[in-house]
Amino acid sequence: MSRIGRKPVAVPKGVTISIGNDAVLTVKGPKGELKQAIDRDIKVEIKDDEVIFTRPTDQIRHRALHGLYRSLASNMIRGVTEGYKKNLELIGVGFKASNQGNVLDLSLGYSHNIIFEVPKELKVVTTTEKGQNPMISLEGIDRQLLGQVAAKIRGLRKPEPYKGKGVRYIGEFVRKKAGKAAGK
């Protein structure tokens, strides 16, 4: 029994939701517009500033999709009203980040700089303050895209467990291992 799928999604003022004949849910708000294709088995009803999702049977597939589409719709509504933000920090000697528009130039200790093009739907800001680690801030309305891009940037130099160097999310805890000298 999906508890998440059964909960109706509240629609705040200033947000319009519509479902087309091709089963595409469209959410428009002050920050932009998002679209999501909905499986034909899941029924979507929009009444009284609420979106309700119902499933036809209790098959495993229908139960999984029921909660999934409710969560996606909730994320879309929050995205067009508040937006999402992810912050990454570069920890390591000589690690640098700069951007020109949506092109990110990263120096992560390799023999060459990494040029990373951020999708135009996201806004990227880099900050470098003296005595602080360089930071990359990503903002956007699409939670899935934001998380994917942040994970790709982090994957360019994951935090290693011995010194903790690498790209990590703000607030991420990296468990450190003892080196080989600790074994003696």
**How many structural domains are present in the chain?**
2
Q: What does the pLDDT look like over 129-172, one tens digit per residue?
A: 999 999 999 999 999 999 999 999 999 999 999 998 999 999 99
pLDDT for res 50: 93
C-alpha count within 13 angstroms, C-beta hemisphere, residue 150: 24
- 76 and 102 co-located in one domain: no
- For residue 184, tell me if it sits in a domain: no
pLDDT for res 71: 95
How many angstroms separate the most distant Cα atoms in the chain? 69
pLDDT for res 184: 60
End residue of a domain, out of 26, 53, 81: 81
- Average pLDDT over the chain reads 92
- For residue 94, tell me if it sits in a domain: yes
Tokens for 58? 């209790």
For residues 159, 88, 130, 95, the Cα torsion angle rounded to the nearest 10 degrees is 40
- For residue 174, tell me if it sits in a domain: no
- 105 and 64 co-located in one domain: no
End residue of a domain, out of 54, 81, 108: 81
- 61 and 36 co-located in one domain: yes
- 12 and 43 co-located in one domain: yes
pLDDT for res 2: 56
pLDDT for res 147: 96
pLDDT less than 70: residues of the chain: 1-2, 182-184
DSSP labels for 123-150?
EEEEE--TTS--EEEEEES-HHHHHHHH
- For residue 135, tell me if it sits in a domain: yes
pLDDT for res 153: 96
pLDDT for res 1: 47
Q: Distance between CA 5 and CA 70 in Å, rounded?
A: 6
The pTM of this model reads: 0.89
- 71 and 107 co-located in one domain: no
- 64 and 135 co-located in one domain: no
Domain residues for 145?
A: 84-169
Handedness of CA 156, 152, 84, 68 (dihedral sign): negative
pLDDT for res 32: 93
> What is the CATH number for 23?
3.90.930.12
